[in-house]
Each structure stands twice: as C-alpha cells, then as structure tokens.
Amino acid sequence: MTESQVIRHYFVDEAGDLTLFNKRGSSIVGQEGVSRVFMVGVAYLPHPEEANKLLTDLRTHLMKDPYFKDVPSMRPDAQKTALLFHAKNDLPEVRREMFTLLPKLNAEVQIAVRRKEELVSAARISQTQFGKKLSVSVIYDDLVKRLFKNLLHQADCNRIVFAKHSKWGRREALANAIAKAKHNFERKWNISSNRPTDLLSGTPEEYAGLQVIDYYLWALQRLYERKEDRFYELLAADYKLVMDLDDTTNKKYGEWYSKQNPLVLKKLKPPAS
C-alpha cells in the first residue's frame, strides 16, 4: 500500500448472545441474562488515529478527576474504564462524556439485527427437518456478509478489525463471508469490488474503533431490549443503516432503517417476551 492509496478502516463487534435453549431444549430467550436480540455492527472511522487520541485523552482526563477517586471501575487493577471504554461497565457519568464525544468522530455505523424468537423457530425446523443444529457460525457469518455487501468498493483497500472473540479462530470463514459480500455486490451492480481487504483481530485496548462500535451497539440494544431510546437518539445521525432482518411485517427481507426511513421507537416491532 502506498501513501496515496485511500484506506477505509472498519471495526466489527457484536451485542447480545446466541443462546436459545436450555439443556432440556426449551427456549430461554428473554430470561434473566439472555438477550432477545443478537446484533453485529460495523463502524467506519475516517480517522482512527485521531479517534484513538481523543478517547485516550478523555480517559486520562477522567482518571485524574477527583470525583472518580476510589470508584472501583476506575481503578487500574479493575481493568475496566482505566484501560478502555465499555458501555456496559462504564459509570453513567462516563457514558455521558462518551456520548458527547462520539458524534465528533464522524463514524458511519451499520448494524444487522436478528430476533431470537425467529432463530428459535429456525433452529427447531433445522433440527426436525434436516437433523442439524442451527450453526452459530452460520448466523454470524451471514450478518457479516450482509453488512459488508455495499461497503468494500469505496476505497483502494479496506482494513477490517474484528473484536477478538472466539470467532477469530474462524478467520477463513470470515474471509469467505467477505468474499461473498463482494460477489453479491458485483452481481447486483456489475461493478467490481475486488479491493485488497485485510482482516485483523484485536481487543478494544488495542483499537479504539472497537470501543466506538461497542457504544453504538449498546445504545441500539437498549432501544430493542428495554424500549429506551434516549441513548440511541444522541447518536441517531451516525447510524447509516439498521437492518432488522426478522421484522417482516412490511417486507419479506426485513425492515431497513436509514435516512430515508428513520428508526424511531414507535416504529419498532417489539421483540417477543
């Protein structure tokens, strides 16, 4: 890669879980500690180095603030906010600072959502009709493919950082999902998207972009799971696309929210209880 080449930097993480059944085969979707939806999100950051500096500066400032003295999550040995921002672990006061900072990063976010009551039905059909368990990997890879279908033709090369979960042991499968995304784009538009694409993995401490997408996922998850829209609304302009793939009320491929069809709470089909 030369200095004149345009590189687009993407950061991928997930929210929720893919737990569907207990040991007896009964659905536990929505029970305590089990989410009703599963999401995979990608954030494009035009200036990841600047984002890293801004998040580091904010964290340094907060760690010096006597207001947070002796707060457990702020202690270095707790390995939480002292190391990285993580919406689930951060104090409300810290979240407020992050929600003020994030719109300044010019992130462009896309998120694909699966409703787990639909996955329960699909899993039972797969087991009874085909004798196969519904693969967690297949669900995840499908969402990656959908998210990147229209993203990989816009620069000379792409760099995709996946949060280092157990998924990273499947690098070849993720590479196949990206290849399918390119193929589907080319088939639809007859435009080549064969740009060099580097696949990386890392932790949020290593890549500030992973801390960024974590916050956008958390805000959207609160909207879906708790009908709480105040966090989402603070960042709403940065969500370029939310694919609610299992809300087939109006369209068989799901409900897509964008600038043309803004996502607001009253439009959202509630997840099954």
Query: Model confidence over 154-192: pLDDT tens digits?
Result: 999 999 999 987 444 577 888 889 999 998 998 888 888
Query: Model confidence over 71-110: pLDDT tens digits?
Result: 888 888 878 898 999 999 999 999 999 999 999 999 999 9
Q: State the chain's mean pLDDT as an integer.
A: 91
Q: What domains are there in the chain, each with its CATH number?
A: 7-267 (3.30.420.10)
Q: How large is the angle between the packed helices 136-148 and 171-189, nearest 10 degrees?
A: 40
Q: Are 85 and 102 in contact (CB under 8 A)?
A: no
The runs of H, that is alpha helices, within the chain are 48-64, 92-101, 116-130, 136-148, 171-189, 208-226, 230-235
Tens of each residue's pLDDT in the chain, 273 residues: 555 789 999 999 999 998 898 888 888 998 888 899 999 999 999 999 999 999 999 999 999 999 998 888 888 887 889 899 999 999 999 999 999 999 999 999 999 999 999 999 999 988 888 788 888 888 999 999 999 999 999 999 999 999 987 444 577 888 889 999 998 998 888 888 788 999 999 999 999 999 999 999 999 999 999 999 999 999 999 999 999 999 999 999 999 999 999 999 999 987 765
